[in-house]
A and B are shown apart, each in its own frame.
Chain A
Amino acid sequence: GEDVEQSLFLSVREGDSSVINCTYTDSSSTYLYWYKQEPGAGLQLLTYIFSNMDMKQDQRLTVLLNKKDKHLSLRIADTQTGDSAIYFCAEGDTGNQFYFGTGTSLTVIP
C-alpha cells in the first residue's frame, strides 16, 4: 500500500492557529482528504482538495498542497476546544482504495 505519514501529536493554545502536516507517496490521487475523528466516533470528512490545486479555503480551514514535495497541510485558524480530535489525511487511488495516515491528535489548551 501507499505510505501516508503524519506526526502523532500537536498541542496549541485556544485562539492560536493549528497546522497539521502530512506526506504521501502516490501521485495518482485525484483528491487528497482530511478527516476528523472525535472520541468514540467515526471519521467525519472535513475537507478535500483536488490534486491540481495548491490551496483551498473553507471558513477556518485552509488546505495547502505541495504536489512536487507530496506534502499536504491543514491549517485551522482561531483553534477552539471543540477542535480537539484526531485528524487523518488520506489519499485515494483509482481502484477505490484509501490510504490513511496514522492520525494527528490535536489538543487545544484553554
Chain B
Amino acid sequence: DGGITQSPKYLFRKEGQNVTLSCEQNLNHDAMYWYRQDPGQGLRLIYYSQIVNDFQKGDIAEGYSVSREKKESFPLTVTSAQKNPTAFYLCASSEIELDIDQPQHFGDGTRLSIL
C-alpha cells in the first residue's frame, strides 16, 4: 500500500545531542513537509521541499535541518541548538499542481522526548 512511513515512533535525546527523524513516502509526491505539534497549538511548519535538492524554511526552522537527496525521503535533524525539542513531529507529502492546492497526506508521527 502507498503511504508515508515515519521512524522511529518514539525517540529520546540527551542534552547536546543531534537526532534524525526519518520520513519516507512511496506516493510519488513531489512535495514533502515537516510539522511540529505541541498541545493546544495545532501544527507549525518547520521545513518543506517541493523538489529534490531544494527546500525552504517554514515558520519555526531554527534549530532544525533537513535534506532532500531523493524524492521519496525527507529526513529531519533536530540539532542541539533547538532548546525545546520535546514535541510530536509529523511528516506529510502532497502532489503539486499549478495554482491548485492539493491535500496533504500524513505519517503516523514521531514523539521526541528529552532525557
Chain A interface residues (CB < 8 Å from chain B):
1, 8, 29-31, 33, 35, 40-45, 48, 88, 90-94, 96-98, 100-103
Contact = CB atoms under 8 A, between A and B. Distances in A.
Interface of B: 4, 6, 31, 33, 40-43, 45, 48, 50, 59, 90, 92, 94, 96, 98-109, 111
Given A1-B59, A8-B40, A40-B109, A97 B103 contact: no
B42 A45 contact: no
A102 B101 contact: no
List the 8 closest A-B pairs by CB distance, nearest first.
A92-B101, A42-B106, A102-B42, A43-B106, A100-B43, A42-B108, A30-B100, A94-B99
A97 B45 contact: yes
A93 to B, nearest CB: 6
A48 B50 CA distance: 22
Contacts of A40: 109, 111
B98 to A, nearest CB: 8
A35 B106 CA distance: 10
Nearest to A51: B101
Contact of A48 (B42, B96, B103): B103
B101 A93 contact: yes
Nearest to B96: A96
B102 A92 contact: yes
A25 B57 CA distance: 22
B101 A31 contact: yes
A30 B101 contact: yes
A67 to B, nearest CB: 15
B5 to A, nearest CB: 11
Contacts of B92: 43
A42 B42 contact: no
A42 B6 CA distance: 10
Contact of A33 (B33, B103, B111): B103
9 contacts: A8-B40, A30-B101, A40-B109, A40-B111, A43-B104, A96-B48, A98-B45, A100-B43, A101-B42
